[in-house]
């Protein structure tokens, strides 16, 4: 009975509802872009610049959470010392953060 009443009601008068929905969706997309997508892209670009300019003596944090001090830099890898006498080679793509010249 209730379903039949809803079907008999029909569409509301005035055709402005479609445009309002479109404007609302556009506003939501703009909010997501300016508050979520854009700041995240800027942060990724800053980290990529740091990784590109990595030097001997910088401290790095890998995506796995390893903290190490850079000993040498190659084209796409980095040799880093995790602890005294313990060295590991990381790919530059696995570096999550770079802290230059910190002890």
Q: Domain residue spans in the chain? A: 16-99
> Helix (H) and strand (E) counts for the chain?
3, 5
* Class at the top of the CATH hierarchy for domain 16-99: mainly beta
Instruction: Round to whole Å and give the CA distance between 92 and 36.
Output: 25
- Ramachandran assignment for 85, one of left (phi > 0), alpha (psi -120 to 50 degrees), beta (any other): left
Instruction: Round to whole Å and give the CA distance between 37 and 44.
Output: 11
Instruction: Round to whole Å and give the CA distance between 62 and 83.
Output: 14
pLDDT per residue rounded down to tens, the chain (103 residues): 555 655 555 555 655 678 888 899 999 999 999 999 999 999 999 999 999 999 999 999 999 999 999 999 999 999 999 999 999 999 999 999 998 766 5
């Amino acid at each position: 009975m209730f379903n039949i009443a809803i079907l008999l009601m029909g569409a509301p008068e005035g055709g402005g509802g479609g445009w309002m929905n479109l404007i609302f969706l556009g506003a939501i997309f703009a909010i997501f872009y300016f508050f979520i997508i854009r700041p995240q892209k800027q942060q990724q670009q800053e980290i990529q610049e740091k990784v590109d300019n990595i030097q001997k003596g910088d401290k790095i944090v890998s995506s796995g959470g390893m903290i190490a001090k850079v000993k040498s830099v190659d084209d796409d890898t980095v040799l880093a010392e995790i602890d005294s006498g313990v060295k590991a080679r990381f790919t530059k793509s696995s570096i999550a953060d770079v802290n230059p010249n910190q002890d």
